Amino acid sequence: MDQAHIRNFSIIAHIDHGKSTLADRLIEVTGALTAREMAPQVLDSMELERERGITIKAQAVRLSYEYSGERYELNLIDTPGHVDFTYEVSRALKACEGALLVVDAAQGVEAQTLANLYMALENDLAVVPVINKIDLPSADPDRVMDELLDIGLDATEAVLTSAKQGVGIDEVLAAVVRHVPPPTGDHGAPLRALIFDSRFDSYKGVLVYVRVMDGALKIGDRVRFMATKKEFEVTEIGVFGPNPTLVPELLTGEVGFFAAQIKTVQDTRVGDTVTHAGRHAGQALPGYRPAQPMVYSGLYPVDSEDYGRLREALEKLQLNDAALTFEPETSAALGFGFRAGFLGLLHLEVIQERLEREYDLTLITTAPNVVYTVTLVQGGSLRVDNPALMPPAGDIATIEEPVVQADIITPSEYIGAVMELAQERRGTYLNLDYLDALRSRLTYRLPLGEIMYDFFDQLKSRTRGYASLDYQLKGHEVADLVRMDILLNGEVVDALSTIVHRDRAYGKGRQLAERLRELIPRQLFEVPIQAAIGSRVIARESVRALRKDVLAKCYGGDITRKRKLLEKQKEGKRRMKSVGSVEIPQEAFMAILRVDGE
């Protein structure tokens, strides 16, 4: 296809504003799939993605569309819909010239709408506003148009749609052709193709999703990945329609995938540039950065014999997930396991669920934590990704923690509630804008560790579900942090150690001890619980001994049944981790996330 008839675009939206449904409609209307083949939300191909309604990995679909008697090739590049994957979104946008900005006709502009818009503008994309869900009784397209005007968009260009009812879909496609510019690259220049995604296929090896910026890619080409410096020979090239179709080449401006007997996605980093091994490009496309885990968590098999299986499962998942890192770790309490790094909590949850579901592992996951940079008194610095490894307080000069800039859009009546929440989480106020008569945008600097877990849930509950959140990493800051240990039966349980702000330590210690008392089942012996900073105990609780554990009746008719009951109870206990003589359920290791120190 000549470049003038190609359009590369993404759909960007706040979560739940109807991105996936619109994508489905575009695919359906252009006849890429028959109605019979359409499963709801075709692009969300992982089972987990469909269950959670979130796009975890990006994908690309080629649509064929006729406009004013001419045939166009429209490449829809889907983007992940979660803040954990902001970098992946930015790479997917880099592969486009335009974006559909979908806004819910009832909800209006939200935090992610803005964040996505800014990201699209940074990438010089043509933005086509789409006001979706106009079928809703509460839809108010006029108000949304005003909001679009307020954020600097030409609202008169907005397309009104109901993706659910198939209204306005053709108009969206026409707007893509009219408003999104064709790709500009140089067909004669050395090959430069941007990797915006990759996934592992057990037959073909890694499928690398690329947008050709300059030059052309053909079967048999020897290619080089400029960041990883790996070279491969291209064995297969294809496009998704959304069913895969093989093609002989990808030309400048086109989007597709290739296979080259690549064994692991670690070699094909999102954001890297593919060029020819022979006639190679002088300069890579800008903006590549290696995947950087933001949160770390210990993964331990409940049954220590599963350690090998856990390693194999992690290795397999890593084949398809360049952002997942792990290395062996030993815990005095939990035995042998791995410290794994994730882009964010959603990423952690997805990996944890896949390990348990697809690999049938029973795991103890320790509370996730951020990475601290510790400067030592005697000079030098350490990167600490496990609270248990925090050096003794006397050796530490400073501890730095990662911070984010968070933008929160909320109805103005909840400003007070949001500010209170941000204060509780050690936020620093930066800015307040009134977006319109009813809504405001609050900007705070917040420690990443404070918003990792239930911040979003709290934000929603304190604003009756109206507030939205987006955040970006803004480096590290020194904070007065200390390690808090938990002792059960007088022994430190390293997997329960956590880093807290000194001012909150007492409150958190007390709450955590209380939570643990509720979570740890009563057992044969009394279990004293202590929270301590260094050698100073700051909170005490105790799980009283269980008084009775008997089967009242056991006669001839139910000996078999009672034996099975005992075996089942024993199985239940195996799902808990025995630390010393104390049985600790999985939830106890996450308890710290549920205390706010107030």
Partner 1 sequence: MSGEWGLYVHIPFCQARCTYCDFNTVTGMGEDMHERYVKALIQELAEERLPDGSLASIYFGGGTPSLVDADLLGAVIDQVRLKTALAPRTEITVETNPGTVTAEKLSRWAQAGVNRLSIGAQALQNHHLSALNRIHDAGAIQDTVSLARNHGFSNISLDAIYGIPGQTLTEWQATVTGLLALSPDHLSLYALMVEEGTPLQKSLERGEQRLPLGDLVADMADWAEKALTDQGLMPYEISNYARPGFASRHNQLYWKLLPYLALGAGAHAYHPGRRWWNVRGVRRYMEMVEHGQDPVDGEEILTAAEEMREYLWLGLRQWVGVSVPAFSERFGCHPKEAFGPVWLSLGNMGLVAWHDSRIILTERGRDMANVVARALVDAPLALSVSP
Q: Which residues bind partner 1 (CB under 8 A)?
A: 522, 524, 546-560, 563, 566-567, 569-570, 573
| Shortest Å distance, C-beta 269 to partner 1 | 49
CA 460 to chain centre: 19
209, 260 Cβ separation under 8 angstroms = no
Nearer to partner 1 among residue 376 and residue 559 (C-beta): 559
**Rounded CA separation 2/72 (Å):** 9
Nearer to partner 1, 39 or 565 (CB): 565
- Whole-number minimum distance, CB 334 to partner 1, in Å? 21
Query: What distance in Å separates the CA atoms of residue 51 and residue 66, rounded to the nearest whole number?
Result: 34
Q: Which is nearer to partner 1, 461 or 569 (CB)?
A: 569
Q: Judged by CB, which is closer to partner 1: 357, or 573?
A: 573
CA–CA dist 529, 540 (Å, integer)? 6
Residues 415, 508: Cα–Cα separation, whole Å: 26
Location of structure tokens 């009832």:
106
Instruction: Supply φ then ψ for residue 423, to 5 degrees.
Output: -65, -45
Q: Facing residues of 258 across strands?
A: 208, 237
The residue among 383 and 548 lying less far from partner 1, judged by its C-beta, is 548
Residue-wise DSSP of 394-412:
GGEEEEEEEEEEEEEEEEG
Q: How far is the CB of 432 from partner 1 (least distance, A)?
A: 45
Taking the alpha carbons at both ends of the chain, their separation in whole angstroms is 62
For residue 560, the minimal CB distance to partner 1 (Å) is: 6
Task: Assign residue 205 a region (left: φ > 0; alpha: ψ between -120 and 50; beta: otherwise).
Answer: left
What amino acid is encoded at 244 in this protein?
A: P
Rounded to whole angstroms, the Cα distance separating 450 from 454 reads 9
Residue 525 Cβ vs partner 1, minimum distance, rounded to whole Å: 8
Shortest Cβ 581–partner 1 spacing (Å): 8
Tell me which residue has tokens 């049985």.
Answer: 583
Residue closer to partner 1, measured from CB, 412 or 523: 523
Identify the three-state secondary structure at position 129.
strand
Q: Which is nearer to partner 1, 279 or 568 (CB)?
A: 568
| Shortest spacing between CB 568 and partner 1, in angstroms | 10
**With respect to partner 1, which residue has the nearer C-beta, 437 or 550?**
550
Count how many Cα atoms sit within 13 Å of the Cα of residue 493 in the half-sphere of its side chain.
26
Smallest separation, CB 302 to partner 1 (Å): 17
